[in-house]
Structure 1
Amino acid sequence: MLYLVGSALLGEAYPFSRYSMYAQHGYQDGAHLVIRLDGVELQTMRGIVDIDGVDPETLRYPQGTPAGVAGYPLDHLRHYIAQHGRRPGTATGEAQLEIGARFLRVGPSGIRVTQAFVPIAAGTARRP
């Protein structure tokens, strides 16, 4: 009861503030993985094989990536590269593969791209 009276008298002051964690920012930063094959942006890695020159173990978001960016898309990409990497004795892919990140800022006025393409890794691959 004392808490209710205190919060009614003090309003939005710590520790009675109900929404302070949401009221601090009118925007949110994020990152999106970008895959390019011979300069053409792809929606998915599906169908790309014989990936060479990209080490899935060292694949990381670039320095400065916002802390709230989920790691699971990168984990899926690492797994895909490990499963579809070039096997010994097979020809190397002839297409240039680029993996990067696109940084976004989501705010009240919509989504704004802050950096279009920040390279993470490069190699070769092919489509069967």
Structure 2
Amino acid sequence: MNTNEQTTLPPGMPQLRVMPMPADANVHGDVFGGWIMSQVDIAGSLPAVRRANGRVATIAVNSFVFKQPVFVGDLLSFYSTVVKVGRTSITVNVEVYAERNRLQADVVKVTEATLTYVATGEDRKPRLLPALPQD
């Protein structure tokens, strides 16, 4: 883990921005990995829901890497990109950046993950993805 890796936020709007609170961390102020994972799942599901035009369910966490610790008070930005579309499934990459010491504008990449979602119907069973509109 390279704790000196400085970066900038990617261009465009993040899918999600959130600041972890003391209840999301241990007594030392380190945010729980499970809390971060749940936020990544939410951020990944947003473009999947748009592409599926409806309900999706998480079916796989293909990879998940914690690159830097996350602290109470960090402002987290979650960037999600659809990287693969199947008949019923959508795979999404999520990158998470933390803005620390906002007066000094320190930005570090803290997490990256790839998740797969499946489109589901009202019966919660897989359904085909709708065709994309033709230009």
Normalised to the residue count of structure 1, the TM-score between the two structures is 0.30
Higher RCO (CA 8 Å, separation ≥ 6 residues): 1
Larger Rg: 1
